Structure 1
Amino acid sequence: MVRSKLTDEDFWFRAALYFVIACVVVCVLLPLLNVLSSSFSSPTLVAQGKILFWPQEWTLQSYSKVLENKDVWRGYGNTLLYTVLGTAINMILTTLAAYPLSRSDLKGGRLILGLLIFLMYFQGGLIPTYLIVKNLGLVNTVWAMVLPHAVNTFNLIVMRTYFISTLPKELQEAAFMDGCSNTRYLWSVVIPVCKPIMAVIALYYSVYHWNDFFQALIYLNDKQLYPLQLVLRDILISSKVDDFATLDEGYADRLFQAEGIKYAIIVVASLPMLIFYPFLQKYFVTGALAGSVKG
């Protein structure tokens, strides 16, 4: 195999491209290293600002205090419930909406799609949405975390576009000639063929639910229902961070411990998504590229 020789213009273009990519990687990686190093370092050194990108005086003290706190474990359980239940509802409704909108024989399909796009940009706002959720009796319930944003219009459009560009009309006609119903065609043909986009949309939804705290901030008053991100918020920006520190120590010691705990709980909250992502990475690349093709 003969490799074509790069011209000077191509060489400098690639060099500039790699330089920009390297700068982006450094900008993303260094804050992560700082958080990870601070979580494993002595809280005193963290509070004094002596930790950059390498841990000093290695310790698991911050992690032990985080994992001993019952609010963190309860928040983990709540967030896991909201993520699994919310993603399941999102995927079911998005698929059931995207499939008929991808069919050219759907009467009024363009009108419905145009209405959805219009509502994506022009919404009622927070107060009307809250009043609707309250009148439905969903405030302070699990359903307030999963139903108000059951369908994301952008994800729906991406899935619809993928269906149009991936599923030829001849495949649909052949399936119907063999006696396949719309439900059977969706379950046995569309979903198996479109696994990449399903994985991508599921990842989008799951990350949203895992990181969401605003919904809980608006609709939840019961601390027993707080997700992990709201627990994290209380620890990071309120005085409740002192609850993690032992009361028999000095105030300064509690503040030092609080600094280490902040970084430890950030790592604890982010770890599940970091573990989950590699398993969907191959689908993510394929589905994102194919779903971006405009039809």
Structure 2
Amino acid sequence: MPKYRLTPAISLARNYNTVGVSEAPTYNAAVVKVGGYTLVRSIINGSAVFPMDDLFEIIAQGGNAQTTISLEVDGQAIASSPIYLLKGASARAMTNNAQADTPISWPQPSKIVVFPAFDYSEQILVNSYTGAMQDFAFTDADSGRREVYSRVDPVFSLPMTFFREFGGGERQLIVSTGGTTGAVKSARLTVVVNPCDSGSFVRWRDATGLMRYFLWHPTERVDDVSEDETFETLSEKLTPERHRTITATTTHTLHSGLVDRELFDLCASILSGREVQLYDARRKVWIDAYVEDGDISRTNACMQDCVVELSIKHLTL
């Protein structure tokens, strides 16, 4: 029987994802099936490798996706596994969080900030996925308050109602799976509860594919109108017509304030983030934005301010 290698249960949506078989000199063809797609590759010199990055990107285009992946050799089923694709994910080492009280470090930061004054759900990833319905328990280590949710996928949107009664300050959240019948796996996550409702609330999808939120302190706003392009065409009467493309933008300078290194790294991830949006509290809508610039020069200081410039394109004529 050939050796085989399947992708992790929680897969990355890009960078060096492969499925392969080896030491199969008497076999001819290998087949990989995932997300409704079938890939066939000849076994040459006892091995075959399937680069999966492009296919994973296609499957995850609509968002985080759960499916199964299977491997066949010459029509014989070799292996199958549940798989969960994270939209926009990049290659990072996966950390085993099976031991109690270990920090959730992949892809979830070991510390997050939640803002209960806003109506949203903070995304965390529990590093356990079986492809079946399972219970996720969230327990506040100080008060003992516990809530259990049943989920199929490992990406969990934690409602802010869980934190509203705590006021402000730092909490320890114990995340566990397995229920009472299976082997319980737990991990500890530090949560900073910030009850403030004043500032610029921004969300973005970081390199792990999860949505991040942070309430920034705005210090400057600059409105600008630029002429991007000038060109001429001929009218129906064959007379020259001059056209200009003009863009109006507003650029906001945002500060994280003095934060520790873990939160600084979380804030700095916006520079490589996708789907960046600024919340308009008056209209209660998210507005598309893009990162213009930022100061993320990390130092040895315990506390540091992360500064970014966020621009919103209002009008193009």
Same fold (TM over 0.5): no
Structure ranking higher in helix proportion:
1
If the TM-score is normalised by the length of the shorter chain, which range does it land in? under 0.3
Larger RCO: 1 or 2 (CA < 8 Å, sep 6+):
1
- TM-score, normalized by length of structure 2? 0.21
Structure ranking higher in strand proportion:
2
- TM-score, normalized by length of structure 1? 0.22
